[in-house]
Amino acid sequence: MLSATRLMADYFSRLDLSDAPDRVVHEAKRLLLDTIGCLLAACDSEIAPVIRNAAALFGDGDVASIAGNPRRSSLLAAIYANGRLANALDFDETFPVGAHFGIGAVTVALAFAEAFRLSGREFLSSVLAGYEFGGRVAAHIGPVVRVAGGRVMGFPDTWGVAAPVVMAANAQIAAR
């Protein structure tokens, strides 16, 4: 009997754009454009230099690009910096349960596409796999806040805001 983890890994490692309905592929493209817009909008923000400096902690390299940085960096530095930049202005997408993890799906796919020379199809498949997996995790966990009578009453005991982001990113890695 296969574990749930193995079943998910098998499914997402085989996911291809031809498996997805046209409207899902369209929404993956919208997610990509939204995330890139958020990423570029944050390049000149006050926090951008801090993020780029922190990315240096993930090592040097000539593997992947950090938005607004003229030199390429290590894979982890690019994923970290671009993810933080894309979320810096807090305009990135929001999944129905209140989480936004598209940045994990897109920025990992961007870095992997550059580092491993993925085709456009492979790249978009990675975005789709990451977002789909992150969405499944977020939907299972539920809303990021407890609401009663129209008022926010706190956070659920099992919620970890970063969980869908990390899972979205991990799905990308497993898929490629």
pLDDT in tens, the chain (176 residues): 668 777 877 887 788 889 899 999 999 999 999 999 999 999 999 999 999 999 999 999 999 999 999 999 999 999 999 999 999 998 888 877 777 888 888 999 999 999 999 999 989 998 998 888 888 888 887 777 778 898 888 877 765 656 666 666 666 555 55
User: What are the residue ranges of helices labelled H in 21-145?
Assistant: 22-41, 48-55, 75-88, 102-116, 120-141
In this prediction, residue 143 carries a pLDDT of 79
Q: What is the pLDDT of residue 68?
A: 93
**Distance of CA 164 to CAs 1, 50, 100, 141, 161, Å?**
26, 24, 8, 9, 7
Q: Is domain 4-175 classified as CATH 1.10.4100.10?
A: yes
Q: Is 146 helix (H, G, I), strand (E, B) or coil?
A: strand
Structure confidence at residue 53 (pLDDT): 94
**Sign of the C-alpha dihedral computed for residues 30, 97, 55 and 130 taken in this order:** negative
